[in-house]
Every structure is written in structure tokens, then in C-alpha cells.
Amino acid sequence: MTLSSPGIAQIPQILIVEDEPAIADTLCYSLRSEGYAPEWVATGEAALNAVGIDTALVILDVGLPDLSGFEVCRRLRARPDSPPVMFLTAHSEEIDRVLGFEIGADDYVLKPFSPRELVARVRVILRRHGNGNTTSKAATETLQLDEAGARVKWCGLPLPLTRFEYLLLRHLMGQPGRVFSREQLLDAVWGNERDSTDRTVDTHIKTLRAKLRAASPEADPILTHRGMGYSLQP
């Protein structure tokens, strides 16, 4: 595993939107000690003003004193370059809404949370959005297509893929960096055999990612493009 040289990678800016100072303090401390640059605001309006082009992630409390976290997320999503959003919620019954189509958050963390777990999940989201502060080798260097053997090797070892996982990964590898919509992937990979929905693509991406991670814990070469689809890291 290669680590990025310090000073070269840009430090990801993370906006914390949380009205309880004690929680915000804990979060700022944990994120800073992991090399991120956290900024804290306590209201929804302040969050909408603070999110900028450098914001790599918003950690958003649902219960804020002015706007609800849901409303803040909705307004952020209306912007062209809306950053990923991770919700903090105290109520497990809000989770379906948080992750559902209406809000469409990237992840959530239930309060009370372990800062360590939260930071781990921040890392995953940032990496998925091509913004991690750990640089893995370019995917094309470490993924090798063996068409004759109908398999893909990761760091020299064959991945244990199902047929559709193999076909999906092969398709993404055909044009690294290109974003494919779920529809395009369904057509290309499932073709006539599709009795399936967009969920089919998501499910296979999920198992592919899990298998890549099992082969190498830092491996996450597949990027999610919100509202658009997936690509392989160029």
C-alpha cells in the first residue's frame, strides 16, 4: 500500500453543522487528528452560507434551531456541485427518510456515536467521491483484465466474481474515468436478461466493492456520481 506524500494531497474540508457545542467539539477534534480540516457552524442558514467549492463533505445534524437538516440538504442538493452529506440523527426512525429518495443522504450516523466509527465512515465517503486523503494506486495499474480467463485480477490475484460482477467491472474498465448511468450499465451488462431495476446495478456495485475491499482493505476504485451513475477511477 502506498501512502500519499504529506503536503501534496489537498486537505479535505469538512463542514460540521451541529447546534450542540460538545458534539461539535468532539467531531472537530477527531477529524482534525485524522488530518482533515473541519469547520463548525451551528445553524442551517450558516451552513448554506459556509458550503463552498472546497467543501468535501457536510456532516449535518437533523435537529437544528432554524432550518431542519432535511431542508438544508434539500437546498444544497439544488446546487450544481452539491457535496456529499452525512446526517447525524438521534432517532433511528428517521433513517429511512434520510437515506431514501426524498433526502438521499450519502450516509448517516446515529447519536450517540463513536468518533472513531464516524471518522472511518467519513473516510469511505470521501474516497468514494474521489476526495480521499489517502491515495491508492491508480485503479488501472492494479486492476488487470484477463479476458481469455473471464476474470479480473486485483494486485495480481484473481477476484472471486460472479458472472455479472465480472461483466460489470469489465465494462467499467473499458473506459476508466467515464461515468456510466445505471441505465447504460443495465443495457451493456444485463442486456436481454434484464428483469431488473436500477437497484440491480447498485447491488452488484456493492458486492463488487466488498470483494475489492476483501482483497485489499483500502481498495475502492469504483466512484459514485450522485444522480448520474458510476465510474472507475482513472
> What is the binding site for Ca ion (CB under 5 A)?
19, 61, 63
Q: Which is nearer to Ca ion, 20 or 198 (CB)?
A: 20
Nearest to Ca ion of 60, 167 (CB atom): 60
What kind and span of H or E run contains 14?
strand 13-17
Residue number closest to Ca ion, CB atom:
63
Three-class SS state of 232 = strand
**Nearer to Ca ion (CB atom), residue 63 or residue 115:** 63
CB of 15 to Ca ion, least distance (A): 15
CB count within 10 Å of CB 42 equals 17
Question: Using CA atoms, how far apart are residues 172 and 106, in angstroms rounded to an integer?
Answer: 22
Residue spans of alpha helices (H) in the chain: 21-33, 44-50, 69-77, 95-99, 115-128, 139-142, 163-174, 182-185, 198-215
The smaller minimum CB distance to Ca ion, of residues 63 and 104, is found at 63
Closer Cβ to Ca ion, 63 or 176, answer by number: 63
- CB nearer Ca ion, residue 14 or residue 23: 23
Residue 98 CB, shortest distance to Ca ion, in Å, is: 14
Q: What is the CA radius of gyration of the chain?
A: 19
CB of 23 to Ca ion, least distance (A): 8
From the CB of 191, what's the least distance to Ca ion, in Å? 48
Closest distance between Ca ion and the C-beta of residue 85, in Å?
16
Please identify, using beta-carbon distances, which residue of 19 and 34 lies nearer to Ca ion.
19
8 Å CB contact between 63 and 69: yes
> In the bound complex, what is the minimum distance in angstroms from residue 81's beta carbon to Ca ion?
26
Residue 193: how many CA atoms within 13 Å on its side-chain side?
Answer: 8
- CA torsion sign for 213, 228, 177, 173 is positive
Q: Give the shortest CB-103-to-Ca ion separation in angstroms.
A: 16
Q: How far apart are CA 114 and CA 119, in angstroms?
A: 9
Beta strand 229-232 with 222-225 is: antiparallel
Partnered with residue 38 across adjacent β-strands are: 14
Which residue's entry shows cell 484477463? 146
